[in-house]
Chains A and B, each alone.
Chain A
Amino acid sequence: MQAEALRLDDAIEAIRVRFGSQALTRAAELPPPPAWPSKTPLDRLTGIGGLPRGRLSLLTGGGTCGKLTLGLALLAGATREFAHAVVIDPARGFDPWTLLPFDPELGALTVVRPPAPDAAGEAAAALARAGAGFILLMGEVPEPWLGPMESGANRSGSVVVGVVESPGRAFAHASSLSLGFLRTGWVWDRGQLVGLRTVARCSKNRVAPPIGEAELEIRYPIGAAMPLRPSTR
């Protein structure tokens, strides 16, 4: 083990001597992208104290693992902090009503329902380039649009979060941070289901050295909600 570490150090040193000191940099030495503190437990898993701005972060996992609840919490927080928080929902599965218990600022929320996957990619790239503060992707973006979306977000500093069950290779490759969720149990209170326990594991982190995993207990917000009416601009 010791010998392997030494050989690795030698190889790194040789690359630096030959191609310059910046040719190969340890992740720990890279300047992290600016972070958006989401005020959720996820901030501790990213290693930079928040979700990275200008990068794509993924919340992945099977059904009822809590990823969408966390995504909604992030979205509600974003509506309170940014002028524009956008949901791109090609499958038309996002119901604004579900966001209400998280106390969002509805004036900042926009839902885009593109008619086709390509249109979803176009919308993501255009909004990232335009500088929408927070973009929640409720599905994958087609591969040709990942590049424009990434570069647009990188330039404008948009926080882009994707919520998908199992990301495709291109989508996973484009992400800088990938958090996988796995439900470990339900939370019951006086015979009523009030939440779930899940393990959030950082499976990919390009913004900081990866931090292992965290156990989360997510309590469903239960109570009255105000009715909504969708309006078209």
Chain B
Amino acid sequence: MHVCCGLTAHLELAQRRDLYGTPVVVGHWDDHVVAASEEAAAFGVVPGMALRQAEHLCPQATFVPPDPESAVRLRELIASALYDLAPVVEVRAEGVAWLDLGGVPSISGSVREARRRLRAATGREPRLGLASGPFTARLAASQARPGRLLRVDDARSFLSPLPSRVLSLDEEQMERLDLLGLRTLGAVAAIGPRELESQLGHDGRRAVLLARGLEPDQLEPWRPPLFTSAHRQFEPAVEDREALLFVARALCDDLAAELGLRGAGAKHVRVRLLFEAGDPEARDSVVRHPLSSTAELFGLVGSWIKDWRPSAPITELWIELPVLEGAGRRQLRLWAGGDGNSDEVVAALERLQERHGDDVVIRPKSALVSSALPSPALRERVRVRA
């Protein structure tokens, strides 16, 4: 297992790039601190403390209210940017991104690209760590210089000298660890999991496994949203069907490119037309086999538009794919050469029947089991010219 961790600023801070380099504290008044910049942290401000206390510690800091919606949008943006670099990606709002690079042929290439994309998304050089699991990788990243990668080959010896407070335990548990004299991860790793479990409960067992570099935690894979759409506004309104078809094809191109990146297919297609006057009109269809290419999408959407009789000039065209499905079955075709995938051919024939009616596809069958038939004679006299 190779997990790469990229540490950036908290995503609440990453939205205020203009304040980079100055002490910034994010939090609601009369509430706790959500995030603090490195400059504010130098004054002792840490997430979770009361905002009044933070103001007392660092009065020169800029205090900004949190914007969780924007942070979630940025998180989604980062996750989708990293999605094609590793099979499993997890991004957290506190500015941590993990990539499970197990099975990736060029780990260095993925790490380099992840660094570039994180820098583009947050505006700062990320710190990078590469280790056997997410816990060690995050600690390695926290010790790396900005823009640099710290690779850990022997997790246990790397973790051993680190203080035990890096374990995510509550205050009471930390106090008990201190009383037991377990102040470094090396000391925690030296005792048995059951012994610490008897002291701290389940968290104690987990702490020992983490300290030994055994990585009991798994990443929570980010999944792309299963909905997408594309639209175009017309100014002035359009009446020409050819123009509408042209735009629809371009939108289908965009959607197909996005589906290709996600490795997904559309199970449901909807087209909406908005008019200068009157109610919008829509057509939709659930397709049995996911559509993923421009030809497939435009084949359906284009046929609707060709038949459509709009009631007024069109001001907006929407193509929505409300239900997406992973196209894993299509990927299996990469292993099958030539005539290998019968399912795909049957699916293509069924799609044709869905579009043009059952009579489009005919499978002739013989009424009799056998019959004596003369074999065709093809005799050749080949004369090859130079």
Contact = CB atoms under 8 A, between A and B. Distances in A.
A111 B378 CA distance: 25
B378 A219 contact: yes
A103 to B, nearest CB: 6
Contacts of B337: 157
Contacts of B345: 83-84, 86, 127, 130-132
Contacts of B363: 109-111, 231-233
Contacts of B295: 122, 125-126, 145, 148
A126 B365 contact: no
A86 B382 CA distance: 30
Contacts of B376: 69, 73, 101-103, 219-221
A227 interface: yes
A163 to B, nearest CB: 16
A35 B207 CA distance: 62
A110 B344 CA distance: 14
A229 interface: yes
Contacts of A223: 372-374
Given A106-B365, A213-B385, A233 B338 contact: no
Contacts of A110: 349, 361-363
Interface stretch (A14-22, A113-121, A166-174, A175-183): A113-121
Given A130-B348, A233-B358, A216 B380 contact: yes
Given A100-B373, A132-B345, A228-B367, A215 B362 contact: no
Contact of B377 (A129, A195, A212): A195
A109 to B, nearest CB: 6
Contact of A232 (B340, B361, B378): B361
A131 B338 contact: yes
For A112, A114, A215, the residue with the greatest tally of chain B CB atoms inside 10 Å of its CB is: A112
B44 to A, nearest CB: 61
Contacts, number: 188
Contacts of B355: 119, 122
A40 interface: yes
A118 B296 CA distance: 13
Contacts of A112: 349, 352, 360-362
Given A41-B382, A112-B352, A219-B378, A126 B296 contact: yes
B12 to A, nearest CB: 46
A229 B362 CA distance: 10
A222 interface: yes
B339 A106 contact: no
Interface residues of A, number: 64
A191 interface: no
Contacts of B1: none
A99 B348 CA distance: 24
A226 B367 contact: yes
B375 A103 contact: yes
Contact of B366 (A44, A106, A156, A215): A106
B341 interface: yes
B380 A126 contact: no
A233 B34 CA distance: 62
A101 B374 contact: yes
Contact of A217 (B361, B368, B380): B380
B380 A225 contact: no
B285 to A, nearest CB: 16
B331 interface: no
Given A127-B345, A130-B341, A226-B373, A215 B381 contact: yes
A34 to B, nearest CB: 8
A158 interface: yes
Nearest to A132: B345
Given A112-B349, A115-B357, 12 more contacts: A73-B376, A112-B352, A119-B352, A148-B295, A157-B339, A214-B380, A214-B381, A216-B378, A219-B377, A219-B378, A221-B376, A226-B373
26 contacts: A69-B376, A73-B376, A73-B378, A82-B338, A82-B339, A83-B339, A111-B364, A112-B352, A113-B360, A113-B361, A113-B362, A127-B348, A131-B338, A131-B339, A131-B341, A131-B345, A145-B295, A158-B338, A212-B386, A218-B378, A221-B374, A223-B374, A224-B372, A228-B367, A231-B363, A232-B361
Top 5 closest pairs, chain A to chain B, by CB: A212-B385, A133-B339, A219-B377, A41-B380, A96-B364
Interface of B: 293, 295-296, 299, 333, 336-342, 344-345, 347-349, 351-353, 355-368, 370-386
